[in-house]
Chain A
Amino acid sequence: MNDEPTDLLAKGDPRLLLLPLARAAVPGCTAVHNARRLTGGANQETWALDAETEAGAVPLILRRARGGTLQRSTGIGLDAEALVIRTAYGNGVPAPEVLHVLSAGDGLGKGFVMRRMAGETIPRKILQGDAFSAIRPRLAGDCGKALAAIHAVPTDGLDRLERFTPLSRVEWLHAHYRATEQVSPVFAYAFAWLRAHAPDAPEKPALVHGDFRNGNLMIAPDGISAVLDWENAHLGDPAEDLGWFCVPSWRFGNLDKPAGGFGTREDLLAGYGAAGGCIPSPDRLRFWEAYGSLYWGVVCARSVDEFRGGADPSVERAMIARRASETELDLLRLIAPRR
């Protein structure tokens, strides 16, 4: 991080430092209030702030690289993320409205400012909260509809996103796995299985969100207010998003409800198809669900290196590393069931 001379936000008064940004995002902004760093974003810093105007406060979110310029190797970078969110928003996807992309003149590194949406992202609250009991029965269908909208976004202006076939996606993940130095015969089994079962690439690659799951969805009592965290967006097989959404790790204990822990696969696919999505075959879905468990397993395994290497020596990081075995069990259940 030596390439960043000073991280102003770490040291100065955020209300003053964020004022020029807030003015760029919200014309007529007179002051910044309630600036605070939110927890929860592991890869990037997220700040909440309110831009005061004569017409009232405008709630904002600032996403920026942690410490200004540090960006994770797997993410697409904040500039590309802002572009993808803008494109998705402009094409009717429930996504936050990007109001300002940081430039060098802002002096705060890379990032962007977007409108802060009302709602809840914490899975347990969405799964159990009374405020969401009315929306829960149709939430899986609404997720299908949101995914269909994402996959229908024209990809013309998105050339800078990486493009994958199902097989090249597996090899991309394999490179990350090899970099972890972790040894897992179950992961090896899963890679061999995925290579043997990779479906054909779709004729035209679609915009794939890459992390559409319970936890990255802003849910209001009346429906999905925004799909968040676009840093894994790429071009590829849209069925990847459907499979990832159903991975057991994101069911939060409700194994019989593959769609985010709140709905069935059938509800999800019905909503997806009704909104114009092309419903993939069960084999293709199973491939991407297996890929999803393996992907999460590799992320967990990579935590060992972050923990031991000092990048994140927290107890939480150590415990995430020990969750790789959860994905090993889910992989066996899916692709190597006991007789």
Chain B
Amino acid sequence: MHDRPDPCEILTAAAAFLRRELIPALPPELSFKTRILANALDLVARQTAADGAAADGTHARLAGLLGREGSEEELAADLARRIEEGAIALTDPALIDHLWTTTLAKLAVDQPNYASYRAETGAAGLQE
């Protein structure tokens, strides 16, 4: 158990420093790269928060779809293999539901501002 502030709070402060103080003082190419760095810190903060929250159910859904146990990574690889081999129908509602749920959870961490994600979730998002 570490003292506060937690990693998300520290990363958020670091990203805010980059955007408010450092980036305006940098020449264009470094400013571009530093904006990417700030976005990366935001991503890590979102993933840290998501990992700290309760399990998102991906592992249990995979085990249910495949009818077997294993690590999440093993099961995802097995699912990919079975889809390509045609062992699971592309129209299987449980499969489609799983792919959607998993993908939306990934986008919530990777790029919550992506237009297609905003369109699917109805989120207002931020304009860059």
A-B contact pairs, 26 of them (CB 8 A): A39-B29, A183-B80, A185-B79, A189-B83, A189-B95, A192-B86, A192-B90, A251-B115, A255-B115, A315-B36, A315-B37, A322-B43, A323-B111, A325-B103, A325-B106, A325-B111, A326-B110, A328-B103, A329-B104, A329-B120, A332-B96, A332-B103, A333-B120, A336-B90, A336-B100, A338-B96
Residue of B nearest to A325 (CB): B106
Asked if A132 is an interface residue, CB under 8 A from chain B, the answer is no
Asked if A288 is an interface residue, CB under 8 A from chain B, the answer is no
Q: How far is the CA of A333 from the CA of B103 in the complex (A)?
A: 11
Q: A329-B103, A338-B96 are in contact. Are A192 and B84 (CB under 8 A)?
A: yes
Asked if A10 is an interface residue, CB under 8 A from chain B, the answer is no
Q: Interface 1/0s, chain B 62-76, versus A by CB < 8 A?
A: 000000000001001
Asked if B13 is an interface residue, CB under 8 A from chain A, the answer is no
Q: How far is the CA of A47 from the CA of B108 in the complex (A)?
A: 39
Asked if A183 contacts B76 (CB within 8 A), the reply is yes
Which residues of chain B are near A329, meaning CB under 8 Å? Answer: 103-104, 107, 114, 116-117, 120
Which residues of chain B are near A186, meaning CB under 8 Å? Answer: 99, 102-103
Size class of the contact patch on chain B: 35 or more
Q: How far is the CA of A189 from the CA of B106 in the complex (A)?
A: 17
Which residues of chain A are near B93, meaning CB under 8 Å? Answer: 339
Size class of the contact patch on chain A: 20 to 34
Asked if A184 contacts B80 (CB within 8 A), the reply is yes
Q: How far is the CA of A186 from the CA of B114 in the complex (A)?
A: 18
Q: How far is the CA of A185 from the CA of B86 in the complex (A)?
A: 13
Asked if B90 contacts A196 (CB within 8 A), the reply is yes
Asked if B1 is an interface residue, CB under 8 A from chain A, the answer is no
Which residues of chain B are near A117, meaning CB under 8 Å? Answer: none
Asked if A316 is an interface residue, CB under 8 A from chain B, the answer is yes
In B35-60, which residues have CB < 8 Å from any A CB? 36-37, 39-40, 43
Asked if A305 is an interface residue, CB under 8 A from chain B, the answer is no
Which residues of chain A are near B99, meaning CB under 8 Å? Answer: 185-186, 189, 328, 332, 336
Asked if B76 contacts A185 (CB within 8 A), the reply is yes
Asked if A248 is an interface residue, CB under 8 A from chain B, the answer is yes
Asked if A188 contacts B80 (CB within 8 A), the reply is yes
Q: A316-B33, A325-B103 are in contact. Are A333 and B80 (CB under 8 A)?
A: no
Which residues of chain B are near A316, meaning CB under 8 Å? Answer: 33, 36
Which residues of chain B are near A291, meaning CB under 8 Å? Answer: none
Distance between A295 CB and nearest chain B CB, rounded to angstroms: 17
Additional pairs, 4, CB under 8 Å, beyond known A192-B90, A333-B120: A248-B115, A253-B115, A255-B119, A326-B110
Asked if A193 is an interface residue, CB under 8 A from chain B, the answer is yes
In A170-191, which residues have CB < 8 Å from any B CB? 183-189, 191
Question: Which 5 A-B residue pairings sit nearest by Cβ, starting from the closest?
Answer: A188-B80, A325-B106, A188-B83, A325-B110, A253-B115
Which residues of chain A are near B124, meaning CB under 8 Å? Answer: none
Asked if A319 contacts B115 (CB within 8 A), the reply is no
In A234-283, which residues have CB < 8 Å from any B CB? 248, 251, 253-255
Q: Interface 1/0s, chain A 109-131, versus B by CB < 8 A?
A: 00000000000000000000000
Distance between B46 CB and nearest chain A CB, rounded to angstroms: 11
Q: How far is the CA of A316 from the CA of B114 in the complex (A)?
A: 17
Asked if A135 is an interface residue, CB under 8 A from chain B, the answer is no
Q: How far is the CA of A183 from the CA of B106 in the complex (A)?
A: 14
Which residues of chain A are near B73, meaning CB under 8 Å? Answer: 183
